[in-house]
Amino acid sequence: MTIQDIIRKTLQQIKQRNLTLTPDVYSEYFCQEAKRAKVIVEDCQKFEKFVNQLPSDIKKMVKKRDVQNVDQLVRLLAAELTRTDAKKSGEIIQAYVLLTKRLLQVIELLHDRTASKMAKVDRDKIASFLDKVEIDAIRDHWNNFVIDYDDSFLDRLDIYCKVDKSDLEAMVDAIIECIKSKKSDISLQEVAQIVIASMTPSIASGMDDELATVSNQIRSNPELLTSKAMIDDLKYMIQKRIELDKKAVVKQITELDSVIEHISSTLVNVINWGDNNHKAIRAIQGELGSIDLKADSFEVIHAKLIAIANSLESETKNLNEEMHNSHEEVNALRKRVKILEEALRKERKRSTTDPLTNLPNRRAIDDFISKQESAYKRYGDNYAVVLFDIDHFKSVNDTYGHDAGDVILASFGKLLRRYSRDLDFVGRWGGEEFLVVLPKTDKKGALQFAEKLREIVKKSKFMYKDTRIPITVSGGVADRANHSSIESMLKQADENLYKAKKGGRNKVVN
């Protein structure tokens, strides 16, 4: 089969389906015909080439979605890329939020030199963009620090001296060394104040009753610091102070967790809702950036996060309202379009259909002939017409009434449609005249069709109120190849019909 044959078959398929000839429609049907004919056309292989170059998971998606052409493939890839980018952005934002949460756990513990150094290094890292793996590594680093941290070395604070306080552990060691050498000139009253301070929780909101009792005893009698029993009590109390601080940290983290998780989930939803939320997202990112983990207290950070959460909640509410309103508007428009489409369909049918016979009217016939004329001029596809007229139809109306005439017209129309081909076009030309357009048919083929219909009508029983009405038809035949124009062909068919009637009726003339 040649390319010309494939082109001809493609155009036939488009005509038979009454499709508008566009580049996309032509390309689709052309490639189908080429594949059916087992002819390899390079332009028809583009889609397969593109698919073969895709990753295996995308290939599976293409097959699952039943993607058939390049346009559908482009739309699928664009949608997948948009969805992947939004998901990736949400993961990174969540990772940053979790990292911030872990840094807040240790913000009040930065009196430790190691913790201070870690905080400074990691805070510098956060200033630049990190991927999710790097963020998770920093978060795990701080998790381990919080779990392993233990300031029980304060138990050694039996006696106190003035030393460098930049490092807590070094300070305690220096105090012990000072007392051992008996070079300290610090009074027990000063030591008592420092001991009381060391027992006061640095994170928890206050002491419990037991800690308060011991603190009052030392404050009223500093000499107790020299007794072994008090030293043992102090070790126990300092450990208790550590437990209180840890409980306070857990409580603060829990409070921040609920706020941050709410911010995270809501922010991801805002991102996933589309491209129109850039302004709101930038504003929220600015608010998150304003949090100073080093300078701000827990209360200030908590208040800022609550404000951000409220802002997100407001933005989410606005988006929900907009989506709800848009959904209602779309539904209303859909209903209206559906009504208009149905009205248009009925109107189109009325404008191109004869109400009595339910056949296409003259306007519809003219449209169909115009399509056949285009194919004739472009590809040389000949076509023919047969103009039928019911013999003595006026006598039928006069004898049996107009209702009987209407029944004859409708019945004859059904006969024409029943015995014509699927690609033929049957319509009512006007009055008792009917026109049949025969695509890909010459004058000889049209004459055979017309003679067959004439014989069928002659032998048929046309009934009206239990009365048989004898009916015959005459016909005029013409084809396009033997005429210079449509008008000339139709005129010839009309003249041949006139000759058939003048020749005694119940005849076909070509």
- 94-104 per-position pLDDT tens digit: 676 566 646 65
366 and 503 in a common domain: yes
User: How far is the C-alpha of 116 from the C-alpha of 129, rounded, in Å?
Assistant: 22
In this prediction, residue 239 carries a pLDDT of 81
Percent of the chain with pLDDT over 70: 74
The answer to whether residue 308 sits within a structural domain is no
* pLDDT at residue 450 is higher than 50: yes
370 and 238 in a common domain: no
CA dihedral over 145, 146, 149, 151, signed as positive or negative? positive
Q: Which of these, 298, 308, 295, 300, lies nearest to 260 by C-alpha position? A: 308
The answer to whether residue 272 sits within a structural domain is no
Q: Which of 245, 266, 285 is the last residue of a domain?
A: 245
Percent of the chain with pLDDT over 90: 31
Q: pLDDT of 155-166, one tens digit each?
A: 656 566 767 766
The answer to whether residue 134 sits within a structural domain is no
Asked if 116 and 79 touch (Cβ cutoff 8 Å), the reply is no
* pLDDT at residue 275 is higher than 70: no
Whole-Å CA distances, 226 to 189, 239, 469: 12, 19, 137
The answer to whether residue 20 sits within a structural domain is no
Q: pLDDT of 132-188, one tens digit each?
A: 787 788 778 778 877 776 666 556 565 667 677 666 667 767 777 777 665 444 567
The answer to whether residue 215 sits within a structural domain is yes
User: How far is the C-alpha of 477 from the C-alpha of 386, rounded, in Å?
Assistant: 5
In this prediction, residue 333 carries a pLDDT of 79
Q: pLDDT of 337-387, one tens digit each?
A: 787 677 556 655 567 999 999 999 999 999 999 999 999 999 999 999 999
366 and 495 in a common domain: yes
What CATH number is associated with residue 496?
A: 3.30.70.270
How many CA atoms within 13 Å lie on the side-chain side of 474?
21
How many CA atoms within 13 Å lie on the side-chain side of 291?
27
Asked if 132 and 96 touch (Cβ cutoff 8 Å), the reply is no
* pLDDT at residue 424 is higher than 90: yes
User: How far is the C-alpha of 131 from the C-alpha of 454, rounded, in Å?
Assistant: 84
Q: pLDDT of 209-223, one tens digit each?
A: 777 888 888 888 888
Q: Which of 196, 211, 245 is the last residue of a domain?
A: 245
Selected residue with higher pLDDT from 87 and 234: 234
Q: Which of 245, 262, 281 is the last residue of a domain?
A: 245
Q: At 282, list the tokens.
A: 């930038």
- DSSP per-residue string spanning 337-349: HHHHHHHHHHHHH
| Mean pLDDT confidence for 288-304 | 67
* pLDDT at residue 20 is higher than 80: yes
The answer to whether residue 385 sits within a structural domain is yes
Chain centroid, CA 451 distance in Å:
60
Exposed/middle/buried for 328, CB within 10 Å: 0-12, 13-18, 19+?
exposed
Rg (Cα) of the chain, in Å, rounded?
47
The answer to whether residue 443 sits within a structural domain is yes
Q: Which residues contact 365 (CB under 8 A, 6 or more apart)?
A: 425, 427, 429, 435, 437
The C-alpha angle with vertex 133 and arms to 128 and 136, in degrees rounded to 5, equals 90
Exposed/middle/buried for 63, CB within 10 Å: 0-12, 13-18, 19+?
exposed
**What's 383's DSSP letter?**
E
> pTM higher than 0.75, yes or no?
no
Number of domains comprising the chain:
2
Domain that holds residue 184: 152-245
| Lowest mean pLDDT, pick from 184-198, 235-249, 306-320, 418-432 | 184-198
In this prediction, residue 437 carries a pLDDT of 98
Exposed/middle/buried for 77, CB within 10 Å: 0-12, 13-18, 19+?
middle
Q: At 189, list the tokens.
A: 């009253």
Asked if 450 and 508 touch (Cβ cutoff 8 Å), the reply is yes
Question: H or E segment at 431?
Answer: none
In this prediction, residue 108 carries a pLDDT of 45
The answer to whether residue 280 sits within a structural domain is no
